Protein backbone atom coordinates (compact mmCIF):
# COMPACT_ATOMS: atom_id res chain seq x y z
CA UNK A 1 0.00 0.00 0.00
CA UNK A 2 2.79 2.45 0.82
CA UNK A 3 5.20 1.49 -1.96
CA UNK A 4 4.73 4.76 -3.85
CA UNK A 5 5.24 6.91 -0.73
CA UNK A 6 8.21 4.78 0.32
CA UNK A 7 9.84 5.20 -3.09
CA UNK A 8 9.34 8.97 -3.08
CA UNK A 9 10.73 9.46 0.42
CA UNK A 10 13.60 7.07 -0.29
CA UNK A 11 14.70 9.07 -3.34
CA UNK A 12 14.48 12.35 -1.37
CA UNK A 13 16.78 11.11 1.41
CA UNK A 14 19.10 9.43 -1.07
CA UNK A 15 19.69 12.77 -2.79
CA UNK A 16 20.31 14.46 0.54
CA UNK A 17 22.81 11.81 1.63
CA UNK A 18 24.80 12.36 -1.56
CA UNK A 19 25.44 16.04 -0.76
CA UNK A 20 27.49 15.72 2.41
CA UNK A 21 26.95 19.02 4.22
CA UNK A 22 23.62 20.64 3.34
CA UNK A 23 22.21 24.17 3.40
CA UNK A 24 18.95 25.50 4.76
CA UNK A 25 17.66 25.67 1.18
CA UNK A 26 18.41 21.95 0.79
CA UNK A 27 16.34 21.20 3.89
CA UNK A 28 13.45 23.40 2.74
CA UNK A 29 13.47 21.82 -0.72
CA UNK A 30 13.52 18.29 0.73
CA UNK A 31 10.63 19.05 3.09
CA UNK A 32 8.60 20.56 0.24
CA UNK A 33 9.07 17.28 -1.62
CA UNK A 34 8.07 15.34 1.51
CA UNK A 35 4.84 17.35 1.69
CA UNK A 36 4.08 16.65 -1.98
CA UNK A 37 4.80 12.95 -1.44
CA UNK A 38 2.37 12.87 1.49
CA UNK A 39 -0.34 14.64 -0.51
CA UNK A 40 0.13 12.21 -3.39
CA UNK A 41 -0.31 9.38 -0.88
CA UNK A 42 -3.75 10.82 -0.05
CA UNK A 43 -2.75 12.35 3.29
CA UNK A 44 -4.98 15.34 4.08
CA UNK A 45 -3.52 18.79 3.37
CA UNK A 46 -3.78 19.96 6.99
CA UNK A 47 -2.04 16.81 8.25
CA UNK A 48 0.75 17.06 5.65
CA UNK A 49 1.41 20.75 6.41
CA UNK A 50 1.47 20.17 10.17
CA UNK A 51 3.79 17.18 9.74
CA UNK A 52 6.33 19.08 7.64
CA UNK A 53 6.19 22.04 10.02
CA UNK A 54 7.03 19.82 13.01
CA UNK A 55 9.88 18.11 11.14
CA UNK A 56 11.35 21.49 10.18
CA UNK A 57 11.09 22.76 13.75
CA UNK A 58 12.86 19.68 15.13
CA UNK A 59 15.48 19.79 12.37
CA UNK A 60 16.42 23.34 13.33
CA UNK A 61 16.60 22.37 16.99
CA UNK A 62 18.83 19.40 16.15
CA UNK A 63 21.33 21.62 14.30
CA UNK A 64 21.00 19.52 11.16
CA UNK A 65 23.07 21.96 9.10
CA UNK A 66 26.07 21.42 11.39
CA UNK A 67 25.65 17.65 11.56
CA UNK A 68 28.21 15.39 9.91
CA UNK A 69 25.35 13.11 8.80
CA UNK A 70 22.52 15.57 8.04
CA UNK A 71 20.47 13.20 5.87
CA UNK A 72 20.51 10.52 8.57
CA UNK A 73 19.54 13.09 11.21
CA UNK A 74 16.56 14.29 9.15
CA UNK A 75 15.56 10.67 8.44
CA UNK A 76 15.57 9.97 12.18
CA UNK A 77 13.39 13.02 12.81
CA UNK A 78 10.97 12.08 10.01
CA UNK A 79 10.71 8.55 11.42
CA UNK A 80 9.92 9.87 14.90
CA UNK A 81 7.30 12.27 13.54
CA UNK A 82 5.74 9.54 11.38
CA UNK A 83 5.37 7.36 14.47
CA UNK A 84 3.77 10.29 16.30
CA UNK A 85 1.46 10.94 13.34
CA UNK A 86 0.32 7.31 13.15
CA UNK A 87 -0.71 7.19 16.80
CA UNK A 88 0.29 5.72 20.16
CA UNK A 89 2.32 2.48 20.30
CA UNK A 90 0.35 -0.76 20.40
CA UNK A 91 1.61 -1.42 23.93
CA UNK A 92 0.10 1.80 25.31
CA UNK A 93 -3.21 1.66 27.26
CA UNK A 94 -5.07 3.87 24.75
CA UNK A 95 -4.14 1.57 21.85
CA UNK A 96 -5.38 -1.59 23.58
CA UNK A 97 -9.01 -2.67 23.80
CA UNK A 98 -10.73 -1.59 27.00
CA UNK A 99 -12.92 -4.02 28.90
CA UNK A 100 -15.49 -3.51 31.64
CA UNK A 101 -14.71 -4.42 35.24
CA UNK A 102 -17.98 -6.40 35.33
CA UNK A 103 -18.77 -8.37 32.15
CA UNK A 104 -20.04 -8.26 29.56
CA UNK A 105 -17.87 -5.68 27.80
CA UNK A 106 -19.56 -4.18 24.74
CA UNK A 107 -17.71 -3.36 21.51
CA UNK A 108 -19.70 -1.38 18.95
CA UNK A 109 -18.58 -1.57 15.30
CA UNK A 110 -19.66 1.40 13.16
CA UNK A 111 -18.86 2.73 9.70
CA UNK A 112 -19.99 3.10 6.11
CA UNK A 113 -21.79 0.36 4.23
CA UNK A 114 -19.28 -1.94 2.56
CA UNK A 115 -16.38 -1.06 4.88
CA UNK A 116 -16.21 -4.64 6.20
CA UNK A 117 -17.91 -4.37 9.61
CA UNK A 118 -19.56 -7.80 9.54
CA UNK A 119 -16.40 -9.60 8.42
CA UNK A 120 -14.30 -7.77 10.99
CA UNK A 121 -16.81 -8.58 13.72
CA UNK A 122 -15.94 -12.22 13.02
CA UNK A 123 -12.21 -11.49 12.85
CA UNK A 124 -12.26 -9.58 16.13
CA UNK A 125 -14.33 -12.31 17.82
CA UNK A 126 -11.80 -14.94 16.72
CA UNK A 127 -8.88 -12.86 17.97
CA UNK A 128 -10.53 -12.33 21.36
CA UNK A 129 -11.45 -16.02 21.58
CA UNK A 130 -7.80 -16.95 21.00
CA UNK A 131 -6.98 -14.59 23.87
CA UNK A 132 -9.40 -16.41 26.18
CA UNK A 133 -12.50 -14.18 25.82
CA UNK A 134 -15.69 -15.78 24.49
CA UNK A 135 -17.91 -13.36 22.59
CA UNK A 136 -21.54 -12.98 21.61
CA UNK A 137 -21.92 -11.62 18.07
CA UNK A 138 -24.96 -9.36 17.70
CA UNK A 139 -26.70 -8.87 14.34
CA UNK A 140 -27.88 -5.25 14.57
CA UNK A 141 -27.65 -4.62 10.81
CA UNK A 142 -31.32 -4.99 9.90
CA UNK A 143 -31.18 -3.06 6.62
CA UNK A 144 -28.65 -4.91 4.45
CA UNK A 145 -29.92 -8.05 2.77
CA UNK A 146 -28.19 -11.19 4.05
CA UNK A 147 -26.22 -9.31 6.74
CA UNK A 148 -27.70 -11.52 9.47
CA UNK A 149 -27.01 -14.70 7.49
CA UNK A 150 -23.42 -13.58 6.92
CA UNK A 151 -22.86 -13.00 10.63
CA UNK A 152 -24.39 -16.39 11.48
CA UNK A 153 -22.04 -18.07 9.00
CA UNK A 154 -19.07 -16.30 10.58
CA UNK A 155 -20.30 -17.34 14.03
CA UNK A 156 -20.25 -20.98 12.97
CA UNK A 157 -16.75 -20.61 11.53
CA UNK A 158 -15.35 -19.22 14.81
CA UNK A 159 -17.64 -21.43 16.94
CA UNK A 160 -19.30 -18.53 18.79
CA UNK A 161 -23.02 -17.74 19.32
CA UNK A 162 -24.88 -15.09 17.31
CA UNK A 163 -27.81 -13.13 18.73
CA UNK A 164 -30.43 -11.90 16.24
CA UNK A 165 -34.08 -10.85 16.16
CA UNK A 166 -34.52 -10.64 12.41
CA UNK A 167 -35.35 -7.16 11.17
CA UNK A 168 -36.82 -6.00 14.47
CA UNK A 169 -35.76 -2.75 16.16
CA UNK A 170 -31.92 -2.87 16.39
CA UNK A 171 -31.89 -0.80 19.60
CA UNK A 172 -34.01 -3.41 21.37
CA UNK A 173 -31.91 -6.18 19.80
CA UNK A 174 -28.75 -4.72 21.34
CA UNK A 175 -30.42 -4.26 24.76
CA UNK A 176 -31.61 -7.87 24.82
CA UNK A 177 -28.27 -9.20 23.56
CA UNK A 178 -26.52 -7.85 26.66
CA UNK A 179 -29.03 -9.68 28.87
CA UNK A 180 -28.41 -12.85 26.83
CA UNK A 181 -24.63 -12.50 27.19
CA UNK A 182 -25.00 -12.31 30.97
CA UNK A 183 -27.22 -15.39 30.93
CA UNK A 184 -24.69 -17.35 28.89
CA UNK A 185 -21.76 -16.12 30.98
CA UNK A 186 -19.99 -14.56 27.98
CA UNK A 187 -17.39 -11.87 28.62
CA UNK A 188 -17.76 -9.75 25.48
CA UNK A 189 -20.52 -8.54 23.17
CA UNK A 190 -19.55 -7.45 19.63
CA UNK A 191 -22.31 -5.47 17.91
CA UNK A 192 -22.37 -5.39 14.10
CA UNK A 193 -24.33 -2.24 13.22
CA UNK A 194 -25.73 -1.24 9.85
CA UNK A 195 -23.56 0.80 7.49
CA UNK A 196 -24.53 4.44 7.19
CA UNK A 197 -23.24 7.78 5.99
CA UNK A 198 -22.04 10.09 8.73
CA UNK A 199 -24.46 12.73 7.38
CA UNK A 200 -27.53 10.46 7.54
CA UNK A 201 -29.31 12.04 10.52
CA UNK A 202 -31.93 9.31 11.05
CA UNK A 203 -29.42 6.45 11.09
CA UNK A 204 -26.91 8.42 13.17
CA UNK A 205 -29.68 9.09 15.71
CA UNK A 206 -30.30 5.34 15.80
CA UNK A 207 -26.61 4.74 16.54
CA UNK A 208 -26.74 7.24 19.39
CA UNK A 209 -29.68 5.33 20.89
CA UNK A 210 -27.77 2.05 20.52
CA UNK A 211 -24.81 3.67 22.28
CA UNK A 212 -27.11 4.84 25.09
CA UNK A 213 -28.51 1.36 25.81
CA UNK A 214 -25.26 -0.55 25.22
CA UNK A 215 -22.91 1.77 27.14
CA UNK A 216 -19.99 0.34 25.10
CA UNK A 217 -16.42 0.23 26.34
CA UNK A 218 -15.26 0.56 22.74
CA UNK A 219 -16.76 2.26 19.68
CA UNK A 220 -14.59 1.13 16.79
CA UNK A 221 -14.87 2.75 13.38
CA UNK A 222 -14.29 0.20 10.63
CA UNK A 223 -12.79 2.23 7.78
CA UNK A 224 -11.70 1.12 4.32
CA UNK A 225 -8.08 2.23 3.84
CA UNK A 226 -8.65 2.30 0.08
CA UNK A 227 -11.07 5.25 0.33
CA UNK A 228 -8.17 7.67 0.84
CA UNK A 229 -8.87 11.14 2.24
CA UNK A 230 -12.61 10.44 2.41
CA UNK A 231 -11.86 8.01 5.26
CA UNK A 232 -10.73 10.95 7.39
CA UNK A 233 -13.97 12.84 6.68
CA UNK A 234 -15.96 9.75 7.64
CA UNK A 235 -13.91 9.33 10.82
CA UNK A 236 -14.40 12.96 11.77
CA UNK A 237 -18.18 12.72 11.25
CA UNK A 238 -18.57 9.58 13.34
CA UNK A 239 -16.26 10.92 16.04
CA UNK A 240 -18.25 14.13 16.42
CA UNK A 241 -21.51 12.20 16.86
CA UNK A 242 -20.37 9.15 18.84
CA UNK A 243 -16.89 9.77 20.21
CA UNK A 244 -15.13 6.81 18.60
CA UNK A 245 -12.47 5.16 20.77
CA UNK A 246 -10.50 3.49 18.01
CA UNK A 247 -10.29 2.49 14.37
CA UNK A 248 -9.98 -0.77 12.45
CA UNK A 249 -8.44 -0.07 9.04
CA UNK A 250 -9.43 -2.69 6.48
CA UNK A 251 -7.78 -3.66 3.17
CA UNK A 252 -4.31 -2.65 4.35
CA UNK A 253 -2.98 -5.36 2.05
CA UNK A 254 -4.25 -3.40 -0.96
CA UNK A 255 -2.20 -1.38 -3.42
CA UNK A 256 -3.76 2.06 -3.03
CA UNK A 257 -2.02 5.09 -1.55
CA UNK A 258 -2.97 4.53 2.08
CA UNK A 259 -3.21 8.14 3.26
CA UNK A 260 -6.07 7.21 5.60
CA UNK A 261 -3.66 5.41 7.93
CA UNK A 262 -1.54 8.55 8.14
CA UNK A 263 -4.42 10.97 8.72
CA UNK A 264 -7.13 9.40 10.87
CA UNK A 265 -5.35 9.66 14.23
CA UNK A 266 -4.38 13.29 13.70
CA UNK A 267 -7.96 14.20 12.69
CA UNK A 268 -9.84 12.35 15.44
CA UNK A 269 -7.29 11.63 18.14
CA UNK A 270 -8.58 8.03 18.12
CA UNK A 271 -5.85 5.39 17.70
CA UNK A 272 -5.85 2.79 14.94
CA UNK A 273 -6.13 -0.39 17.02
CA UNK A 274 -6.23 -3.09 14.35
CA UNK A 275 -5.59 -3.50 10.64
CA UNK A 276 -7.18 -6.00 8.27
CA UNK A 277 -4.50 -7.56 6.06
CA UNK A 278 -6.38 -10.21 4.10
CA UNK A 279 -9.61 -12.08 3.59
CA UNK A 280 -9.01 -14.89 6.11
CA UNK A 281 -10.63 -14.58 9.53
CA UNK A 282 -7.16 -14.73 11.07
CA UNK A 283 -5.99 -11.75 8.98
CA UNK A 284 -6.43 -9.13 11.71
CA UNK A 285 -3.33 -7.65 13.32
CA UNK A 286 -2.61 -5.07 16.02
CA UNK A 287 -1.47 -1.78 14.53
CA UNK A 288 2.17 -0.92 15.24
CA UNK A 289 2.92 2.72 14.26
CA UNK A 290 6.70 2.33 14.72
CA UNK A 291 6.84 -0.72 12.44
CA UNK A 292 4.76 0.90 9.72
CA UNK A 293 6.91 4.05 9.86
CA UNK A 294 10.04 1.91 9.45
CA UNK A 295 8.56 0.12 6.45
CA UNK A 296 7.48 3.39 4.82
CA UNK A 297 11.04 4.74 5.18
CA UNK A 298 12.60 1.54 3.83
CA UNK A 299 14.02 0.42 7.19
CA UNK A 300 12.32 -2.98 7.12
CA UNK A 301 10.16 -4.59 9.79
CA UNK A 302 12.10 -7.34 11.54
CA UNK A 303 9.72 -7.66 14.50
CA UNK A 304 6.68 -8.44 12.33
CA UNK A 305 8.75 -10.89 10.29
CA UNK A 306 9.84 -12.68 13.48
CA UNK A 307 6.26 -12.79 14.81
CA UNK A 308 4.98 -14.21 11.53
CA UNK A 309 7.69 -16.88 11.57
CA UNK A 310 7.04 -17.84 15.18
CA UNK A 311 3.36 -18.30 14.37
CA UNK A 312 4.29 -21.14 11.99
CA UNK A 313 7.07 -22.95 13.82
CA UNK A 314 7.02 -24.55 17.24
CA UNK A 315 10.24 -24.64 19.27
CA UNK A 316 10.62 -28.37 18.50
CA UNK A 317 10.24 -27.76 14.76
CA UNK A 318 12.83 -24.97 14.84
CA UNK A 319 15.26 -27.19 16.81
CA UNK A 320 14.75 -30.09 14.37
CA UNK A 321 15.41 -27.81 11.39
CA UNK A 322 18.55 -26.44 13.05
CA UNK A 323 19.81 -29.97 13.67
CA UNK A 324 19.25 -31.00 10.04
CA UNK A 325 21.07 -27.94 8.73
CA UNK A 326 23.95 -28.49 11.14
CA UNK A 327 24.31 -32.13 10.06
CA UNK A 328 23.81 -31.28 6.36
CA UNK A 329 20.87 -33.72 6.23
CA UNK A 330 18.49 -31.11 4.84
CA UNK A 331 16.61 -32.74 1.91
CA UNK A 332 14.36 -31.54 -0.89
CA UNK A 333 11.46 -32.85 1.21
CA UNK A 334 12.48 -30.43 3.96
CA UNK A 335 12.95 -27.66 1.41
CA UNK A 336 9.43 -28.21 0.02
CA UNK A 337 7.97 -28.18 3.53
CA UNK A 338 9.79 -24.94 4.42
CA UNK A 339 8.69 -23.29 1.18
CA UNK A 340 5.04 -24.19 1.80
CA UNK A 341 5.29 -22.84 5.34
CA UNK A 342 6.83 -19.57 4.16
CA UNK A 343 4.10 -19.12 1.55
CA UNK A 344 1.56 -19.08 4.38
CA UNK A 345 3.19 -15.87 5.62
CA UNK A 346 2.36 -13.96 2.45
CA UNK A 347 4.17 -13.05 -0.76
CA UNK A 348 7.92 -13.68 -0.85
CA UNK A 349 8.47 -10.14 -2.13
CA UNK A 350 6.71 -8.58 0.88
CA UNK A 351 8.64 -10.80 3.29
CA UNK A 352 11.99 -9.78 1.83
CA UNK A 353 11.04 -6.11 2.14
CA UNK A 354 10.59 -6.62 5.89
CA UNK A 355 14.29 -7.45 6.27
CA UNK A 356 16.08 -4.32 7.58
CA UNK A 357 18.50 -2.92 5.01
CA UNK A 358 17.36 -5.28 2.27
CA UNK A 359 14.22 -3.29 1.41
CA UNK A 360 16.36 -0.35 0.27
CA UNK A 361 18.86 -2.52 -1.55
CA UNK A 362 16.19 -4.22 -3.67
CA UNK A 363 15.33 -2.62 -7.03
CA UNK A 364 12.10 -0.59 -6.99
CA UNK A 365 10.42 -3.03 -9.37
CA UNK A 366 11.74 -6.12 -7.56
CA UNK A 367 9.23 -8.93 -7.35
CA UNK A 368 9.37 -12.69 -7.02
CA UNK A 369 6.63 -13.99 -9.32
CA UNK A 370 4.39 -16.44 -7.49
CA UNK A 371 4.38 -18.62 -10.60
CA UNK A 372 8.13 -19.23 -10.12
CA UNK A 373 7.52 -20.40 -6.56
CA UNK A 374 4.69 -22.62 -7.80
CA UNK A 375 7.02 -24.02 -10.49
CA UNK A 376 9.59 -25.08 -7.88
CA UNK A 377 6.85 -26.74 -5.83
CA UNK A 378 5.59 -28.62 -8.90
CA UNK A 379 9.09 -29.89 -9.76
CA UNK A 380 9.80 -31.22 -6.27
CA UNK A 381 6.30 -32.75 -6.03
CA UNK A 382 6.97 -34.66 -9.28
CA UNK A 383 9.98 -36.42 -7.73
CA UNK A 384 9.79 -39.75 -5.94
CA UNK A 385 10.44 -39.83 -2.20
CA UNK A 386 13.85 -41.40 -2.84
CA UNK A 387 14.79 -38.67 -5.33
CA UNK A 388 13.81 -35.93 -2.91
CA UNK A 389 15.93 -37.48 -0.17
CA UNK A 390 18.89 -38.12 -2.48
CA UNK A 391 19.16 -35.76 -5.50
CA UNK A 392 22.26 -37.70 -6.65
CA UNK A 393 19.80 -40.23 -8.13
CA UNK A 394 18.59 -37.66 -10.66
CA UNK A 395 20.12 -38.81 -13.95
CA UNK A 396 19.06 -37.53 -17.36
CA UNK A 397 16.03 -39.78 -17.86
CA UNK A 398 14.69 -39.06 -14.39
CA UNK A 399 15.01 -35.32 -14.96
CA UNK A 400 13.06 -35.61 -18.24
CA UNK A 401 10.31 -37.52 -16.42
CA UNK A 402 10.14 -34.89 -13.67
CA UNK A 403 9.98 -32.06 -16.24
CA UNK A 404 7.08 -33.78 -18.05
CA UNK A 405 5.27 -34.45 -14.77
CA UNK A 406 5.60 -30.85 -13.54
CA UNK A 407 4.87 -29.15 -16.87
CA UNK A 408 8.33 -27.53 -16.94
CA UNK A 409 11.57 -27.78 -18.92
CA UNK A 410 14.55 -29.99 -18.10
CA UNK A 411 16.57 -26.79 -17.73
CA UNK A 412 14.21 -25.73 -14.90
CA UNK A 413 14.83 -29.03 -13.12
CA UNK A 414 18.60 -28.70 -13.61
CA UNK A 415 18.55 -25.16 -12.23
CA UNK A 416 16.63 -26.19 -9.11
CA UNK A 417 18.93 -29.13 -8.38
CA UNK A 418 22.01 -26.94 -8.84
CA UNK A 419 20.66 -24.24 -6.51
CA UNK A 420 19.77 -26.83 -3.90
CA UNK A 421 23.26 -28.35 -4.05
CA UNK A 422 24.80 -24.89 -3.64
CA UNK A 423 22.59 -24.27 -0.62
CA UNK A 424 23.56 -27.64 0.85
CA UNK A 425 27.24 -26.83 0.45
CA UNK A 426 26.64 -23.60 2.31
CA UNK A 427 24.98 -25.45 5.19
CA UNK A 428 28.07 -27.67 5.45
CA UNK A 429 30.10 -24.53 6.00
CA UNK A 430 27.66 -23.47 8.70
CA UNK A 431 27.53 -26.95 10.21
CA UNK A 432 30.45 -26.45 12.53
CA UNK A 433 28.98 -23.23 13.91
CA UNK A 434 26.16 -23.67 16.39
CA UNK A 435 23.62 -21.01 15.50
CA UNK A 436 20.05 -20.46 16.48
CA UNK A 437 17.62 -20.42 13.59
CA UNK A 438 14.26 -18.79 14.16
Question: Using one digit for the tens of pLDDT, what is the confidence trace for 98-121?
Answer: 999 989 999 999 998 888 899 999
Residue 411 backbone dihedrals phi, psi, to 5 degrees:
-60, -35
pLDDT value at residue 322: 59
Q: What residue ranges do the domains of the chain occupy?
A: 3-86, 93-295, 305-431
Which CATH architecture best describes the domain 305-431? Orthogonal Bundle (1.10)
CATH fold for domain 93-295: Rossmann fold (3.40.50)
Instruction: Give residue-wise pLDDT tens across range 332-347.
Output: 887 777 777 766 666 6
pLDDT grade for 157, boundaries at 50, 70 and 90 = very high
Q: Tell me if residue 245 falls in helix, strand or coil.
A: coil
pLDDT value at residue 135: 96
Does residue 301 register a pLDDT over 70?
no
| Strand-strand pairing, 162-163 and 135-140 | parallel
Closest to 56 in 3D by CA, of 38, 37, 31: 31
pLDDT value at residue 438: 36
Instruction: Give residue-wise pLDDT tens across range 180-204.
Output: 999 999 999 999 998 877 777 888 8
pLDDT grade for 1, boundaries at 50, 70 and 90 = low
What are the C-alpha distances in Å from 307 to residues 5, 254, 302?
A: 25, 21, 9
Angle subtended by helix axes 396-406 and 370-381, to nearest 10: 130
Alpha helices in 41-169 (DSSP H): 45-61, 70-86, 117-130, 147-158
Q: Which residue has the higher pLDDT, 348 or 24?
A: 24
**413: exposed, middle or buried (C-beta count within 10 Å: 0-12, 13-18, 19+)?**
buried
Cis peptide, bond prior to residue 171, ω within 30 of zero: no
Does residue 272 register a pLDDT over 50?
yes
pLDDT value at residue 325: 56
Does residue 87 register a pLDDT over 80?
yes
The conformation of residue 194, written as its DSSP 8-state character, comes to P
CB 85 within 8 A of CB 232: no
Does residue 141 register a pLDDT over 50?
yes
Distance of CA 305 to the CA centre of its chain: 11
Task: End-to-end CA distance of the chain: give it in Å, rounded.
Answer: 28
Closest to 200 in 3D by CA, of 271, 263, 112: 112
pLDDT value at residue 434: 46
Which CATH architecture best describes the domain 3-86? Up-down Bundle (1.20)
pTM: 0.68
Amino acid sequence: MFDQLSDRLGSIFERLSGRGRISENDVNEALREVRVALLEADVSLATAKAFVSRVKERAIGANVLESLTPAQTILTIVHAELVELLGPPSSSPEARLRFADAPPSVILLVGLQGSGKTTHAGKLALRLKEGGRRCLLVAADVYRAAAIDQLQTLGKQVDLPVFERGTADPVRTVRESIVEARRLGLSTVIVDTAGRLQIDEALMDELERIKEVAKPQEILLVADAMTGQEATNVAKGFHERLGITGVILTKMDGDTRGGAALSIHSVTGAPVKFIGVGEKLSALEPFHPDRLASRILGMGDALTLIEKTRSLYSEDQARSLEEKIRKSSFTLDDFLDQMRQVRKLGSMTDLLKMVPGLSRALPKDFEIPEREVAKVEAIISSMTRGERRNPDLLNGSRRKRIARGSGTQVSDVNRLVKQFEQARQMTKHLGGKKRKFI
